[in-house]
Structure 1
């Protein structure tokens, strides 16, 4: 039963269940088994809670997840879920209708925006070049591959598959919409400009990892930085063997240019992107880890790609989510208003 959901979902459900049981104890209700009216009362009180600034303390999505957590705990205990008769679902619909607020979304980073961020990454000497090399690889892989930040974090070195004809393939073993691990391969083609060539960026980072993962340690890493050469030349056409190391691809960094063995978290991807956006003169509050994936979809729509071609890279199973990007970020694409002659 525990293996049927992701670790992050288990952690969220455990927190939600603690919240529900604490509320039941304070109010004198029985948490297991719980009546539908008990769950509705709990959700209603949470929906009415506000912060000092007057905003809602809990988003509607959070309340929906909490209801799911209560149902899941009942199912796991062999009890009938309180949401089985539909009353809880109707209460949640009422909460969402009452809120009727537009969901806040981060701005997409389009191709020109990504170039702006990359041009602002100017560190080419030790130790700043280590972070610059890693961040450029994360930015280009995330944008060209339409990655979620959790997917970037989960990549291993063995998931990088060189292709002499196409560029680089990146194997996504598991994702938000693929919890059973069917897998997906994303292709990052050779780029015309070395600045925006995703295979070049990945290979430069892999060269640094090879130095630090070998027996040379810090001196070898420093030599690799010096030998990396300028970022305005291609390094992607050199024949490269596939590496089979089951070690994290994108890793945390320590002061002084040291590369840690620990995996770069999704939160760290988000914070890195904000730092790089600020360094490029953009407002960091408007961007986040999802800006790369949203930027891919938006740029692809603006370039005339159809939804099937976009889903081939993003891994979306339907056009429903893509329609959100199309509507909010590219409203003039295919819109008849452009032909009115105004």
Structure 2
């Protein structure tokens, strides 16, 4: 057991190793056996791994407004480019999770004078599918307006019902099937790389995290941000706010250096 943990320490996160150790322990207990995971040598190895590797979760970079502008500006003028533009801007402005983005149907979008009202039918923290609405206001810059982008995508792809974000083949043909969660991450990474950014620093969650940190940096309060993100855990949300306010709410700016 100790040898296994030592071998895997270079490729697996401490949290993953802890879950595997816990699973092994449960299996032994279910069969009335003593678990090797309680052996002092095994515990010592786990402690050493945590000290060496650290236990802080890996955090992807939140996409800043500058990142989003660069990504959008470098998208190709193709069917795929139009879809990716709409996905990036809707995901960022709506602070949507990957699963919420790909679950959107045309019927979930309702036009208003101020922009679009988007119905989120189910989310990670809404397993009873009570649903909620988020607003997508018109952007001041046509290049990064989420409302314009999604309307142009739907018009170009001739989508009038069903999934909003769909697969597109290499010939530019739009499929009837919706994108997967993983596709969102791939689109974000590909767009980042095309814009000259490090794709390893970005994921599908970068859009949602980017909204929260950007809104906080621009002075939005906790309630305003939570209204858009739908966070039920204020502690998680405050982590984004702290990151977004590192410079705007920092005593170091008053040192006079």
Bigger relative contact order, structure 1 or 2, given CA contacts below 8 A and separation 6+?
2
Q: Per the alignment, in what secondary structure is the counterpart of residue 204 of structure 1?
A: helix
1:193 aligns with 2:130: no
Counterpart in the other structure of 1:259: 174
1:171 aligns with 2:171: no
Of 57, 75, 83, which residue of structure 1 is paired with 2:12? 57
1-structure distance, mates of 2:3, 2:91: 36
Where do 1:254-293 residues align within 5 Å? 254-293=169-208
Counterpart in the other structure of 1:299: 214
Q: CA deviation at 1:100?
A: 3.5
Where do 1:192-211 residues align within 5 Å? 192-209=140-157, 211=158
2-structure distance, mates of 1:290, 1:47: 32
Contact preservation (8 Å) 1:167, 1:187? yes
Q: CA deviation at 1:109?
A: 1.1
Q: Deviations over 1:117-160 (max 9, x none)?
A: 1111241xxxxx21111001001000100111111011111111
2-structure distance, mates of 1:270, 1:122: 18
Q: CA deviation at 1:111?
A: 1.0
State the TM-score, normalized to the length of structure 1. Answer: 0.63
Q: CA deviation at 1:248?
A: 1.1
For structure 1, the residue ranges without an aligned partner over 5 or more in a row are 1-43, 72-78, 80-86, 124-128, 214-242
Counterpart in the other structure of 2:5: 48
Q: Per the alignment, in what secondary structure is the counterpart of residue 57 of structure 2?
A: coil
State the TM-score, normalized to the length of structure 2. Answer: 0.82
Q: Deviations over 1:224-267 (max 9, x none)?
A: xxxxxxxxxxxxxxxxxxx6x3x111011111101111111111
Contact preservation (8 Å) 1:48, 1:56? no
Contact preservation (8 Å) 2:190, 2:199? yes
Contact preservation (8 Å) 1:50, 1:57? no
Q: CA deviation at 1:46?
A: 10
Contact preservation (8 Å) 1:46, 1:58? no
For structure 2, the residue ranges without an aligned partner over 5 or more in a row are 31-37
Q: CA deviation at 1:50?
A: 3.4
Count the aligned residue pairs.
240
2-structure distance, mates of 1:146, 1:47: 40
2-structure distance, mates of 1:65, 1:320: 27
Counterpart in the other structure of 1:83: none
Contact preservation (8 Å) 1:301, 1:333? no
Q: CA deviation at 1:102?
A: 2.3
1-structure distance, mates of 2:20, 2:232: 22
Counterpart in the other structure of 1:141: 90
Q: State the Cα RMSD in Å.
A: 2.9
Counterpart in the other structure of 1:250: 165
1:320 aligns with 2:231: no
Contact preservation (8 Å) 2:216, 2:244? no
Contact preservation (8 Å) 1:151, 1:172? yes
Contact preservation (8 Å) 1:147, 1:314? yes
